[in-house]
Amino acid sequence: MTVSITDIHRWDAGDVREVFHATRNRAEAAFEAADGIAELPAFGGWGGDAAEAAKEANGQIRKDLDVHGNEALVVARAAAAAADRIQQVKNDLVQLEADVAAAGFELDPASSTVMPGPALEHDMVALLAKEAEREALQARLNTILAEAVSADEELARAINMATGAEPIPDTPHTNDPELQGALSRPLPEDPKEFHDLWEKLTPEQREWLYRQDPNIGNHPGMPFAGDHTDPGRDYFNRRHLGELTETAQAEVDRLASQHPDWARSGDRFPVSVTPQQNGQYADWKRQWDAANSELNGYHAVSETLARNNGVPRYLGLLDDQGHAAVSIGNPDTATRTATLVPGTGQDMASFVGSDGKSLDMFNAALDADPNLSAEDVAVTTWMGYDRPMNLFEAASPGRAEAGGAGLDAFIDGMHASHEGWFPATDTVVGHSYGSTLVGGASSGGNHLAVDNVIAVGSPGMLVGHASEMSLDPGAQVYATRAQHDIIHLVSGAALGLNPTWDGFGAIELAAAPGPSTGPPILNLPSIGAHSSYWDEGNPALANMGAIIVGMPPPEVVP
């Protein structure tokens, strides 16, 4: 099946949404009818076999109406999902067309190819100079067209289910009308409402939800611990991790089989390579690098989960977009929780290193208060946003502004699933651009429901003063920066003021100067100092441990 550029322009997501509205109304009518039967009088004094037969018949009618409503709702959800994907494809194509025109190229609808525009057609030097840009635009077009095919297939399934040409997936049934209704609607977004619903579900009903959406384990408010008898985040996300790893490995194997024979010797281009072969190899190499990066990320998460430090780890977040979160200790039962937000360059393949920082803080917390046990503390490494992977990307606040709501939701989910009468003391530690994300999570209309925020080696937090951050009442804002941290070179630029500046309003924590670079007499900043805060003996680590357990930091800057 192929979908052309012209086909995409003809699509109308609004037409598909009409299917959604019609089938949803049909589902709601069926549920209302079922509820009406459930509320019929219990036949008063009518007794005997006829009464029992009538009750049984009414019960069966109600079940049939429930099934009919659920089937209509499945069709409605399928239509809504198809409409969303169609609209996204159209939006992506419009943006691509603008970028293509700005670069001096044109899209050929007949061949689905990025072609040189009039100005470039007669300027071979400029055309050759822009070949890499053309290839990148072509790759984006190929991705859009592939997504269009997938969206078209999804729409076809929705239509086939609506017309009876394709069977409708089974839906769970319960004799509890309220619970049946809840399972027939989109799951609550509010973490507390979701948690309350989750606690009422049987393992079979939870399993059904996983089959509908393997990302269900990421839903804020789901408990972290559990097994097949009482599944929670960790159970479902570990299962999904295995599935994603298999898929990623299959993609690596597929690409390996397509490796060009002429490039197998050191991946260098022989003189006899044609421009077309050159372009084909470049496209293959991009896919190869992306597939291996994804697979390495899943392996790193698996390695992190398998680390044996005497404390269980819980997979609280995982998807196929490079997002993951692993907790050392159970946040649901811990009385002191911390969340580390890594920064620039920290993809999933580097998860073990970030987990090491979390483990250092976990141990520092126990050292700060010997009266606490390991069960009292939980430290989570949260990579739930699109981290910038280079300094160019890190110069923009966009990723922090866009990803802040995800951290808010994750923290709110921890609160919703927390056990015990008293809430935990919650601390969020943002390192490097991760502190900028923390700033985004507590500004721009977001609220970060924590007791402490620690900005470590921060380039800025998107606010001009600590008081502008929306945190829980009484929350403290801390900041620390090593003398030789290379972050000094970019502070005060597009991401906000230096949080260790006196005028920012944060409590400055002491830190070791960290290693310098160049001749010793110059004491130049270094990359090593940027990650030195977790080194053994660094007062910054002791300060973080004390704050996590709710104690005053031992070394602050006067």
Instruction: Indicate if 403 and 489 belong to the same structural domain.
Output: yes
Instruction: Indicate if 397 and 452 belong to the same structural domain.
Output: yes
Q: In the sheet that 507-508 helps form, which strands lie side by side, from edge to edge? A: 313-318, 324-328, 377-383, 336-341, 425-431, 452-456, 476-480, 507-508
pLDDT band at 153 (very low <50, low <70, confident <90, very high): confident
Instruction: Indicate if 293 and 351 belong to the same structural domain.
Output: no
Q: Please check the confidence at residue 540 and state whether its pLDDT lies above 70.
A: yes
Instruction: Indicate if 331 and 371 belong to the same structural domain.
Output: yes
Instruction: Indicate if 175 and 59 belong to the same structural domain.
Output: yes
Q: Collect all residues with Cβ–Cβ distance below 8 Å to 544 and sequence separation of at least 6.
A: 338, 361, 364, 429, 454, 456, 509, 533
Question: Can you tell me whether residue 315 is helix, strand or coil?
Answer: strand
Question: Can you tell me whether residue 157 is helix, strand or coil?
Answer: helix
Cβ–Cβ under 8 Å, residues 466 and 440? no
Full-model pTM: 0.70
Instruction: Indicate if 13 and 55 belong to the same structural domain.
Output: yes
Instruction: Indicate if 502 and 361 belong to the same structural domain.
Output: yes
pLDDT band at 42 (very low <50, low <70, confident <90, very high): very low
Instruction: Indicate if 403 and 460 belong to the same structural domain.
Output: yes
Q: How many C-beta neighbours within 10 Å does residue 58 have?
A: 14
For residues 369 and 157, which has the higher predicted lDDT (pLDDT)?
369
Instruction: Indicate if 373 and 468 belong to the same structural domain.
Output: yes
Which pLDDT score is estimated for 342?
Answer: 96
pLDDT band at 514 (very low <50, low <70, confident <90, very high): very high
The string of pLDDT tens digits covering residues 84-130 is 887 888 888 889 889 888 888 888 888 888 888 877 777 777 667 77
pLDDT band at 377 (very low <50, low <70, confident <90, very high): very high
Instruction: Indicate if 222 and 127 belong to the same structural domain.
Output: no
Region 69-84 average pLDDT: 65
Cβ–Cβ under 8 Å, residues 340 and 354? yes
Instruction: Indicate if 168 and 77 belong to the same structural domain.
Output: yes
Cβ–Cβ under 8 Å, residues 225 and 234? yes
The H or E element that residue 341 is part of is strand 336-341
Q: Please check the confidence at residue 344 and state whether its pLDDT lies above 70.
A: yes
Which pLDDT score is estimated for 147?
Answer: 85
**How many CA atoms, within 13 angstroms, populate the side-chain half-sphere of residue 464?**
0
For residues 39 and 205, which has the higher predicted lDDT (pLDDT)?
205
- Of 307, 336, 358, the residue that ends a domain is 307
For residues 217 and 23, which has the higher predicted lDDT (pLDDT)?
217
Q: How far apart are CA 26 and CA 20, in angstroms?
A: 10
In-domain check, residue 555 = no
The string of pLDDT tens digits covering residues 203-256 is 888 888 898 889 999 999 999 998 989 999 999 999 999 999 999 999 999 988
Task: Please give the structure tokens belonging to residue 198.
Answer: 């989750």
In-domain check, residue 314 = no
Q: Please check the confidence at residue 515 and state whether its pLDDT lies above 80.
A: yes
pLDDT band at 7 (very low <50, low <70, confident <90, very high): confident
The CATH number given to whatever domain includes residue 387 is 3.40.50
pLDDT band at 166 (very low <50, low <70, confident <90, very high): low
- Of 307, 335, 366, the residue that ends a domain is 307
pLDDT band at 508 (very low <50, low <70, confident <90, very high): very high
Which pLDDT score is estimated for 19?
Answer: 57
In-domain check, residue 502 = yes
Region 506-534 average pLDDT: 90
Residue among 107, 118, 117 at smallest CA distance from 141: 107
Which pLDDT score is estimated for 300?
Answer: 97
**H helical segments located in 103-130:** 118-121, 124-129
Mean pLDDT of the chain: 84
The string of pLDDT tens digits covering residues 455-464 is 999 999 999 9
Q: How far apart are CA 525 and CA 514, in angstroms?
A: 9
Cβ–Cβ under 8 Å, residues 492 and 458? no
Region 283-298 average pLDDT: 93
Report which listed range, 3-12, 51-60, 175-184, 443-452, is most confident.
443-452
Cα(first)–Cα(last) distance of the chain, in Å?
68
In-domain check, residue 313 = no
- Percent of the chain at pLDDT > 70 equals 80
DSSP 465: S
- Of 279, 307, 335, the residue that ends a domain is 307
Q: How far apart are CA 155 and CA 132, in angstroms?
A: 35
Region 432-446 average pLDDT: 96
Q: Please check the confidence at residue 295 and state whether its pLDDT lies above 90.
A: yes
Q: Collect all residues with Cβ–Cβ distance below 8 Å to 241 and sequence separation of at least 6.
A: 298, 301, 302, 305, 315, 318
Region 460-475 average pLDDT: 96
Question: Can you tell me whether residue 339 is helix, strand or coil?
Answer: strand
Q: How far apart are CA 431 and CA 338, in angstroms?
A: 13
pLDDT band at 485 (very low <50, low <70, confident <90, very high): very high
The string of pLDDT tens digits covering residues 381-408 is 999 999 988 878 888 889 999 999 999 9
In-domain check, residue 554 = no
Question: Can you tell me whether residue 386 is helix, strand or coil?
Answer: coil
Q: Please check the confidence at residue 46 and state whether its pLDDT lies above 50.
A: no
Which pLDDT score is estimated for 93?
Answer: 85
pLDDT band at 149 (very low <50, low <70, confident <90, very high): confident
Instruction: Indicate if 368 and 496 belong to the same structural domain.
Output: yes
Q: Is 75 exposed, middle or buried (0-12, 13-18, 19+ CB in 10 A)?
A: buried
Region 251-264 average pLDDT: 80
Residue among 19, 40, 35, 18 at smallest CA distance from 69: 35
In-domain check, residue 316 = no
H/E/C letters for each residue in 523-550? Answer: CECEHHHHCHHHCCCCHHHHHHHHHHCC
Question: Can you tell me whether residue 359 is helix, strand or coil?
Answer: helix
In-domain check, residue 236 = yes
In-domain check, residue 312 = no
Structural domain count of the chain: 3
Domain assignment of residue 326, given as a range = 321-548
